[in-house]
Structures are given as C-alpha cells and as structure tokens.
C-alpha cells in the first residue's frame, strides 16, 4: 500500500487561455499530461502522490468552456461550468430540472462552487483500495482487492463486474443519460460527439478508464436536446450521510404520460456498476403500461435481474429495486423498505 503524503509531486503547470492551446498541449504531452478542471478529484490524487503526471493542464482560464447556452430549444453547457451555475440556471431549473437536482445532490455548496459538470462526469472510481495505491487491476496489477473473501466492499458493484468491482460515483451522469445528452470531445484530429450513455465504459472495455476519453482528448461541452424538456422527472440519491457524500445508489428518470399511461420513459441508475446504467429493458417493459403499483413492482424486479452481490453489499439489491419502483410511482418514501 502506498504511503500517503500531503505534498504534491513536482510537475510542469500550463494554464492555456483557449481550447486550441489546451488541445495542442494535450497532443504534445500525451499520456504524461493530466487535465485539471475544478481540481477536487485531481488534488486528492496528486496530494496522495498516487498519480504523478509530468504535466498538468489547468483549464480554469478558458472562458469558452464555461456557461449555459440555449440552442434549438435545448442547451449546450460548457464542461467547465460549475455545478453551482448548473443548479442555479433558470432554464435548467425550469425545463431540465433533473440535472439541477442531480448537480445539487453531488456535493456541498462549497464544492459545487468549484467542481465542474465535466469533472463530475469524468471523475475516477472512489474504491479505497484503488485510491489508496493498492496495485489492483485498475491500477495495472493482477487482482481486485475489493473482490476477495476478507474485502470491505459495501460500496461496490452488484452488476456488470468484470475483474474490477468499483462503481461510477457521478450524480449528474444518470440525469444526463435520461436527458439523452451528448458529450462533445475534441482532440488534435477534430471533434466527435458521443451519447452520454456511451461516454461511460466498464472494465470489459478498458479496465484502466471509466470514460471514452483517451490521452489527447478534451471534453468541451455537454449538449442536451429539447426531447425531454418539461417531462416528468424523478431523481433520488441514497447515501450514508445526508450532507455531502457519494451515492450508494441513485436513480434518474424522465417520463411523458398520457393520462395514467406511460407514453415514453428513460431510466438510469448509478452506484451499482462500473458505469451508470440505462435500464432499457425496464423502459421497454413499462412503456404503454398504467402508472400503478403493478407496473412499479414489475419494473423493480426487472431492474435487479442478474445482480450478484459481494459479501457486504447485498443491501444494494433491494435498495436499487425500491428506487426504481419509486421512480415509476413518482413518490419518495422509505428507501430501505421491501
């Protein structure tokens, strides 16, 4: 296990003023470059000396990466827009309130003032073995310390585990998935746009990454179409502390109703797998159904199919089931009830 220190390793710091300058730096230094957004996740890595980049590219001076803009009835949000600005923006609150709710749930007011939307969706796993410097699969080793008989794995995955059982910790990610958002990524070769649900990857794709971002890539913006503007939204996060904390499980849904019938719906959960999961099977099953207890019960059972708990996280199965049920009902109640 690594020795924890509070002195950052030496690195060369760049503070570009434009996206083009940032891209040039990332292209030049490749794997040796570390992108710094709000810095809250980055500073943990650097202070603990687990990550030792030769170059840090600080995006804080790039004004074009900040702000919320209305585009064709939807929004384009710069990746460096703070969570506070997302929470407070009137159009986000009025038409896409699930993102405002998710961003507000992500952290304390002080952290939201510094943390960015791009940083929240791109942060690394919070597994304490990995963050503590243990040489696990995700860190280039040949074992998952959280998936051993004596491991402490209360916060780890119940779905989609493939060697690594760390989970994605983002609160804004499931909200963006149900809003059918797109992530705008630039590098020296140009721009590409990736659906939010495809932005996040699991260990079966690449055990060293949690997103599609590769060395040289820069997340510049998040685009939200008008498709789900003004829909019925539901977001709920269960955490150990009712102040700032990472989710044990969270759920997000966007739905359009025709009377009591579910006309269309998108549903996503996080905190249960290495990437936020869109529950497409549940969506298909409840579309056209009446929004009632029977439909909610069916949705909850479908959502947890295939779940495989570890020694200490079996509670996540009924928790996830109940959150999905409540997202169909649209009513919050005791999360730990059966």
Per the confidence metrics, is the pTM higher than 0.75?
Answer: yes
End-of-domain residue from the set 227, 250, 277: 227
Please give the pLDDT value at position 336.
41
CA distance 267 to 102: 14
DSSP-assigned letter for residue 150: T
Per-residue tokens: 293:
């207890």
CA distance 44 to 124: 11
Q: Do 307 and 216 have their domain in common?
A: no
pLDDT digits (tens, 9 = 90+) for 20-69: 999 999 999 999 999 999 988 888 888 877 888 999 999 999 999 999 99
Q: What is the CA radius of gyration of the chain?
A: 20
Please give the pLDDT value at position 249.
98
> Does a structural domain hold residue 282?
yes
Give the pLDDT band (50/70/90) at residue 337. Answer: very low
Residues 6+ apart with CB under 8 A from 165: 127, 144, 146, 147, 153, 156, 157, 274, 310
Q: Do 110 and 254 have their domain in common?
A: no
> Does a structural domain hold residue 286?
yes
CATH number at residue 82: 3.30.465.10
Report the chain's mean pLDDT, rounded to a whole number: 94
Give the pLDDT band (50/70/90) at residue 334. Answer: very low
Residue listed under structure tokens 């904390």? 245
Please give the pLDDT value at position 271.
98
Give the residues across from 218 on adjacent strands. 186
CA distance 114 to 220: 17
Q: Do 251 and 315 have their domain in common?
A: yes
Give me the domain span that covers residue 272.
230-329
pLDDT digits (tens, 9 = 90+) for 65-99: 999 999 999 999 999 999 999 999 999 999 999 99
Q: Do 211 and 67 have their domain in common?
A: yes
CATH number at residue 309: 3.30.390.50
Average pLDDT over residues 280-298: 97
Q: Do 293 and 220 have their domain in common?
A: no
Specify the number of domains making up the chain. 2
């Amino acid at each position: 296990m690594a020795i924890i220190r509070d002195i950052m390793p030496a690195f060369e710091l760049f503070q570009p003023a434009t996206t083009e300058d940032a891209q040039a730096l990332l292209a030049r230094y490749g794997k040796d470059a570390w992108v710094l957004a709000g810095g809250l996740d980055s500073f943990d890595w650097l202070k603990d000396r687990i990550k030792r980049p030769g170059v840090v590219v600080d995006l804080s001076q790039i004004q074009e990466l900040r702000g919320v803009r209305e585009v064709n009835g939807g929004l384009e949000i710069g990746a460096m827009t703070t969570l506070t600005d997302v929470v407070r923006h009137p159009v986000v609150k009025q038409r896409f309130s699930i993102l405002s709710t998710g961003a507000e749930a992500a952290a304390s007011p002080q952290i939201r003032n510094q943390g960015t939307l791009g940083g929240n969706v791109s942060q690394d796993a919070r597994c304490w073995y990995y963050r503590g410097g243990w040489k696990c699969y995700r860190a280039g080793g040949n074992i998952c310390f959280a998936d051993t008989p004596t491991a402490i794995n209360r916060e780890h995955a119940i779905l989609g585990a493939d060697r690594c059982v760390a989970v994605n910790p983002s609160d804004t990610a499931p909200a963006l998935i149900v809003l059918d958002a797109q992530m705008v990524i630039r590098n020296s070769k140009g721009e590409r746009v990736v659906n939010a649900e495809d932005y996040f990857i699991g260990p079966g794709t690449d055990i060293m990454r949690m997103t599609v971002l590769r060395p040289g890539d820069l997340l510049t913006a998040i685009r939200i179409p008008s498709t789900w503007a003004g829909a019925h939204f539901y977001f709920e996060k269960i955490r150990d502390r009712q102040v700032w904390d990472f989710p044990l499980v969270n759920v997000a849904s966007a739905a359009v109703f025709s009377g009591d019938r579910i006309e269309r719906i998108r549903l996503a959960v996080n905190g249960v797998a290495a990437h936020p999961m869109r529950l497409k099977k549940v969506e298909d099953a409840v579309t056209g159904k009446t929004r009632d207890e029977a439909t909610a019960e069916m949705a909850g059972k479908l959502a947890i199919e295939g779940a495989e708990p570890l020694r200490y996280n079996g509670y996540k199965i009924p928790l996830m089931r109940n959150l999905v049920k409540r997202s169909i009902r649209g009513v919050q109640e005791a999360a730990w009830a059966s």
